[in-house]
């Protein structure tokens, strides 16, 4: 990180873009399934929905840890990983 402890803007914008694009795609799939399908939801729609939810979760976690670096100290998983890395 630079001296002012601000993360690079391109990282912030890339994570925000991933979240916004995933939400837009979920909304588009929702509209398409409701408009074209009167029966059961197709399997590919469920797979794509889960995939975009995973992208939203991953980008959100990375964005929070990028913008709030003090969160890494209170996160139990991050603390455990830091201890394991220090031991190695």
Condensed to tens digits (0 to 9), the pLDDT of residues 7-64 reads 888 888 999 999 999 999 999 888 888 777 667 777 888 898 999 999 999 999 888 8
Residue 70 host element (H or E): none
Would you place residue 87 in the very low, low, confident or very high pLDDT band (cuts 50, 70, 90)? Answer: low
Give the residue numbers spanning the domain of 53. 9-87
Say how many domains are in the chain: 1
Residues 6+ apart with CB under 8 A from 42: 33
Q: Is residue 62 part of a domain?
A: yes
Alpha helices, DSSP H only, in 9-75? Answer: 9-36, 43-67, 71-74
Q: Is residue 17 part of a domain?
A: yes
Q: Is residue 83 part of a domain?
A: yes
Q: Is the pLDDT confidence value at 79 over 90? A: no
Contact by Cβ (8 Å): 62, 13:
no
- The answer to whether the predicted template modeling score (pTM) of the entire model surpasses 0.75 is no
Instruction: Please give the Cα distance from 5 to 19 (Å, whole number).
Output: 23
Instruction: Please give the Cα distance from 1 to 7 (Å, whole number).
Output: 6
Q: Is residue 1 part of a domain?
A: no
Q: Is the pLDDT confidence value at 1 over 80? A: no
């Amino acid at each position: 990180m630079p001296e002012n402890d601000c993360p690079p803007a391109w990282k912030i914008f890339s994570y925000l873009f991933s979240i916004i694009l995933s939400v837009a795609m979920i909304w588009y799939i929702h509209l398409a399934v409701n408009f074209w399908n009167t029966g059961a939801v197709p399997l590919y729609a469920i797979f794509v929905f889960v995939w975009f939810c995973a992208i939203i979760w991953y980008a959100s976690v990375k964005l929070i840890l990028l913008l709030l670096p003090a969160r890494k100290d209170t996160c139990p998983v991050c603390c455990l990983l830091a201890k394991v890395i220090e031991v190695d």
